[in-house]
Structure 1
Amino acid sequence: MSEILVGTCAWTDRALVGSGWYPPGRRDAEGRLRHYAERFPVVEVDSAYYALPRARDSRLWAERTPEGFVFDVKAFSLLTGHPTRAAVMPDGLPADPRDPKVLDAVWARFTEGIEPLRAAGRLGGVLFQLPPWFRPGRRAGAFLRECAERTAGWPVSVEFRHPGWWRPEWAGATRAQLARYGMAAVAVDMAQTLPSSIPPVTAVTSPRLSVVRFHGRSPAWGSGSKEDRFRHDYRDEELAEWVPRLRDMAGRAERLHVLFNNCCGAAAVRAAEAMRRLLAGQDPAPAAEPTRTVR
C-alpha cells in the first residue's frame, strides 16, 4: 500500500487562527507553519487561487518544514476559468483568460512562484479546481489538453464542480481523458442532497497521485456565507466509511493525499487528526483538551 498523507486545505485560515488551535508563541507566520508541519505531512496552499504565489514565499515554506512535508498548490483562479480581480493580476494585465498573451504571462508567473517548492521536492501536486459551469464537452477537452501541455512533468489533480463529469454517460470518458494526460481525478466528500452535488467517485486516473478532498456536508453548499458552506464537524462514522475506500485508492497510486476543506474554526484539523487515527487503526476520538479562545 502506498503512502497516505492526511492534512487540511489551509493553515492560515482566519477561523483556524482564531480558534486557539495554534498555541501562544506560535501564532506568527513562521510559528504557525512549523506547528502545523509537526502534526501533518501535507497541506494545501489555497491562497494561490486568490493571488499568484511568490517564489520568496515558496522558498520560506520549504525551509520552515521538515523533510518529506509537501504542499499541494491550488491553481490561480484565471488559470481555471474563474472570475479574477484586476487588483491581483501581475503588471497591470487585464483579467482576460481569452487573451493568449495574458495567459502566457500568468502561467509564467505561476510557474515561477511554485518553482522553489518543485526544486526542493516539496511540490505534492497542483490542484485545478474547475468551476461549476465547466461542463464536459469539446471545449472542456481542449482546455484540459492545453493545461496538460503547460504542466508537463508536474503532479496535477483535477476537481470537477459540475456533476455531469461523473454521470454514467460521461464517467468513462472523464476517466480516460484524465488518464491520458496523467492527471489525478479528485474524489470529493460533500452533501449529496443538492442539484450540484458531486458523487463520491473514487476513480484513480494517475499512478503517481490520487487526491480526496473533504468539503463537509453542509446543505448550504453553493449558497450562503463561506462559514455556512463549510460548517460541518465530521462524525467518527462519517470518516470511518471512507477508510476502506482510501485504502483501496492507496493501493492503486504511489501516493494518496487526503485533505479536509471544512475550514470553519478548527473543524478541519480535528477531522484530519481523527482520520489519521482511523487509518492507523486507533480510536478516532481520544480525550481532547478544551478549545482555547483567542481574545
Structure 2
Amino acid sequence: MGELLIGTCSWTDRALVGSGWYPAGRRDAEGRLRYYAGRFPVVEVDASYYALPGERNSRLWVERTPAGFVFDVKAFSLLTGHPTRAAMMPDGLPPDAGDPAVLDAVWARFTAGIEPLRAAGRLGAVLFQFPPWFVPGARAEAFLRECAERTAGWPLAVEFRHPRWWADEERTEATRDLLSRHGFTAVAVDMAQTLASSVPPVTPVTTPRLSIVRFHGRSAAWGTGSKEDRFRHDYSAAELAQWAPRLRALAERVDELHVLFNNCCADASVRAAETMSGLLAR
C-alpha cells in the first residue's frame, strides 16, 4: 500500500484560527504551523490562489515543519482562468490572462515562490483547480498542454469543477487518458450530489506516483452564498466510514495518497481529518 497522508486545505483559515483549535501560545504564524505539522503530515497552501507565493515564506515553511512533511500548493488564480484582483498582480501588471507578457511574468513569480519547497523535496503537488466554465473541448486541451509545457518536472494535480469531465464511462476514460498523457494527477472530490453542478465522486488514477481526494463538505449552497455557506458541513463518522474502503483501495494503486479536508468552518476540517485518520488506522 502507498503512503497515506491526511490533512486539511489550510492551516491559516480565519475560521480555524478563531475556533480555539490552536492552543494559547501557538497562535502566531510560526506556532500555528509547528502545531499543525505536529498532528498532520500534509497541508494544502490555499493562500497561493489569492496571492503569489513568496520565496521567503516557502523557506520558513520548510524550516518550521519536520522532515517528510509536504505541502500541496494551489495555483494562483490567473493561472487557472479565475478572476484575479489587480492588487494581487506583480509589479503593477494588469490581470490580463490573454497577454503573453503578463502570463510569463506571473508564471516566473509563481515558480520562484515555490522553488524552496521543490528544492527541499517538500512539494507534494501543485493543484490546478479549474473553474466551472472550464469544460471539455479543444480549448481546454490546448490550455492543459500549455500548462504541461510550463510545469515540466513538477508534480501537478488537476481538479475539474464542471461535472462533464466525469459525466459517463466514455467521458471519464477520455479525461483519464488526457491527464495521463501529461503526467497530471487527477483530483477526486466529495461534495453534495444533489446539484446540477455536482462533480461525481469518481477516483481515477492517472499517475502511479500520487492521487488526491479533496473533501469539500456536502452543503447544498455549493456555488452560491458566502464561503462559509458553501463549505459549512460537519462530516459524520458514518459519512467518512463510507470512504474508508475506497481510500484504502486507492492507496493500493499509487505511491502516495493525499486526503485533504476543505470543509473550512471553525475546526470542522481538522476534526474530520482526525476522524478519518482514526478510521484508516483501524
Classify the TM-score, shorter chain.
over 0.9
Q: 1:46 is matched with which residue?
A: 46
User: SS of the residue aligned with 2:127?
Assistant: strand
The one-letter code of the counterpart of 1:55 is E
User: SS of the residue aligned with 1:61?
Assistant: helix
Matches within 5 A, 1:1-295: 1-168=1-168, 169-281=170-282
| Alpha-carbon distance in structure 2 between the residues aligned to 1:161 and 1:275 | 24
User: SS of the residue aligned with 1:23?
Assistant: coil
| Alpha-carbon distance in structure 2 between the residues aligned to 1:207 and 1:144 | 19
The one-letter code of the counterpart of 2:250 is M
The one-letter code of the counterpart of 1:214 is F
1:197-252 alpha-carbon deviations (Å, 9 max, x no partner):
00000001011110000000010111111111111000001001111111111111
User: SS of the residue aligned with 1:242?
Assistant: helix
The one-letter code of the counterpart of 1:102 is V
User: SS of the residue aligned with 1:220?
Assistant: coil
The one-letter code of the counterpart of 1:201 is V
TM-score (norm 2): 0.99
| Alpha-carbon distance in structure 1 between the residues aligned to 2:51 and 2:160 | 21
User: SS of the residue aligned with 1:241?
Assistant: helix
User: SS of the residue aligned with 1:221?
Assistant: coil
Runs of 4+ displaced beyond 2 Å: none
1:127-154 alpha-carbon deviations (Å, 9 max, x no partner):
0000000000000000001101111111
| Alpha-carbon distance in structure 1 between the residues aligned to 2:93 and 2:19 | 38
| Alpha-carbon distance in structure 1 between the residues aligned to 2:148 and 2:260 | 23
| Alpha-carbon distance in structure 1 between the residues aligned to 2:51 and 2:260 | 21
Query: Which deviates the most, 222-231 or 31-40?
Result: 222-231
| Alpha-carbon distance in structure 1 between the residues aligned to 2:103 and 2:173 | 30
| Alpha-carbon distance in structure 1 between the residues aligned to 2:255 and 2:153 | 16
Q: Which runs of 5+ in 1 are unaligned?
A: 282-295
The one-letter code of the counterpart of 1:79 is L
The one-letter code of the counterpart of 1:66 is P
**RMSD of the alignment, in Å?**
0.5
1:225-281 alpha-carbon deviations (Å, 9 max, x no partner):
111111100000100111111111111111000000000000000000000000001
User: SS of the residue aligned with 2:149?
Assistant: helix
The one-letter code of the counterpart of 2:9 is C
| Alpha-carbon distance in structure 1 between the residues aligned to 2:250 and 2:181 | 19
User: SS of the residue aligned with 2:5?
Assistant: strand
| Alpha-carbon distance in structure 1 between the residues aligned to 2:166 and 2:214 | 16
User: SS of the residue aligned with 1:185?
Assistant: strand
User: SS of the residue aligned with 1:7?
Assistant: strand
User: SS of the residue aligned with 2:6?
Assistant: strand
Query: Which deviates the most, 262-271 or 93-102?
Result: 93-102
| Alpha-carbon distance in structure 2 between the residues aligned to 1:26 and 1:89 | 32
The one-letter code of the counterpart of 1:241 is Q
| Alpha-carbon distance in structure 2 between the residues aligned to 1:3 and 1:150 | 28
User: SS of the residue aligned with 2:260?
Assistant: strand
| Alpha-carbon distance in structure 2 between the residues aligned to 1:249 and 1:96 | 39
The one-letter code of the counterpart of 1:134 is F
Q: 1:293 is matched with which residue?
A: none
User: SS of the residue aligned with 1:224?
Assistant: coil
| Alpha-carbon distance in structure 1 between the residues aligned to 2:101 and 2:225 | 36
| Alpha-carbon distance in structure 2 between the residues aligned to 1:248 and 1:107 | 36
